[in-house]
Structure 1
């Protein structure tokens, strides 16, 4: 039995989408094992005592509805959970699957010659803050020379839908294309999660990330503000990000092509797995190469 748990503070203005994002992120822990079927989910909800009763009822209802709708889309159901009172609204959950060890991919099998594939773009933390600055005159004044409200709304809508998108297709294709290991990319950023994954491998290896797919306009914001989120350094937090997958080199392009055909969103080869047999496993690590290739990912409505 594999059980995963996650909690979330509000990221977006729409409680319905916040519920969808929370559900998608909880499920991604299962999907990173190549497990595409979730047997059961529990919902964990904190209702805000700082809201009026009307606000609390409205927001809680939409949070629950979004979480439930996304669970249904994933082919599973919410059978229970727990609700508490809290100063802030929080939603999270538990996802459980029961299966044989031969039926999932352990995150330990990366080998020399594999490549790293990422299934969602980076930059959600920057994008969420970008949107919040629309309501903060002082902060907006710092960036208004390089952007505008329409641009902000466009990329924020895309980021919201990207966070809510399930990684279920990636989980299914991991098995088809012989993935050796994977993780989901969330709060520790691409570098934090890739470093953790590298350290978990049975072989002595290192990851080298040469490409960063980033939501359009997020790099120019980072550059303009002198890199407060460390997006290009790989430590900017992501929420409900993509799967980072170690795949055989000769199968990675076909994986990326098929996931785009199914989900209508691209995936990218972003790095290499390099053997280092002369070093102990304790020295397994991940690095972002100097001056990585930046792919600016255009917002689209193909979700």
Structure 2
């Protein structure tokens, strides 16, 4: 949980090409439902995770705030003082650009399925006939690996390959965040998304959950919430190919998922997008 929070906070700066972060503040809400003994175990582990990933990013934590809260919450603030050349403004996409995504989709599905299974909820009574426990655990582990991976490598490659615009994909899903990015463009363009990389097995499970009267995550509509998701980056066609190749050569993930086309500053997902099943 600490690592996920740290990665998520830093992604806001990475999405603007800022790779050197000067300071972080850690914000912690300790659940009042935890006993003192539970706090002694849980809190140090969460803080350790946050610190470990901050160290990996080369960032120091110099303060923050802790409060007692109904829920267990961790977040933070990341700041950097930059020169103009260190920032990539997110408004220079042009028709003909390709759109790249650097992490798979489906973190909300992964976490919910795992929670349903662990608690034996009514939702799991529907889902258990659609996916095995082993596949739920594998998907959850893959999602955890993704959520705790920094977007730092992608931010560095944005500079190297001349990215025109970018955003991170989090709570509004890939469609929500691509719409926000499209609205911010200087040129009159649309974002057309034709491919969705999704954690393995989740596409079919989501379809069948709807048919069985279960929850509709709206994953294939691009509206499923993501946590600590990838960067959505607009680059020239040639640069996009090189960006993807280099991300993969460095052990990361990246896919060309769409096109920038003439339009009215909005975003859409194809009626039948290509699905790429991703497993770590």
Question: Per the shorter chain, which TM-score range?
Answer: over 0.9
- Report how far residue 202 of structure 1 moved: 0.7
CA-to-aligned-CA distance 1:226-251 (integer Å, 9 cap, x gap): 16110000100000000000011111
Q: Which residue of 2 aligns with 1:255?
A: 243
TM-score by length of 2: 0.96
Q: Which residue of 1 aligns with 2:266?
A: 285
- Report how far residue 137 of structure 1 moved: 4.7
1:1-303 to 2 correspondences below 5 Å:
18-134=1-117, 135-226=119-210, 228-262=216-250, 264-276=251-263, 283-298=264-279, 300=280
CA-to-aligned-CA distance 1:232-277 (integer Å, 9 cap, x gap): 0010000000000001111111111111111x2320000000123x
For 1:50 and 1:169, locate their aligned partners in 2 and report how far apart those are by CA, in whole Å: 38
For 1:93 and 1:53, locate their aligned partners in 2 and report how far apart those are by CA, in whole Å: 24
TM-score by length of 1: 0.89
For 1:95 and 1:268, locate their aligned partners in 2 and report how far apart those are by CA, in whole Å: 27
- Report how far residue 199 of structure 1 moved: 0.2
Q: Alignment RMSD, CA only?
A: 1.0
Change in Cα spacing, 1:228 to 1:171, as seen in structure 2 (3 Å) is same
Query: Gaps spanning 5+ residues in structure 1: where?
Result: 1-17, 277-282
The 3-state SS of whatever aligns with 1:295 is strand
For 2:171 and 2:88, locate their aligned partners in 1 and report how far apart those are by CA, in whole Å: 22
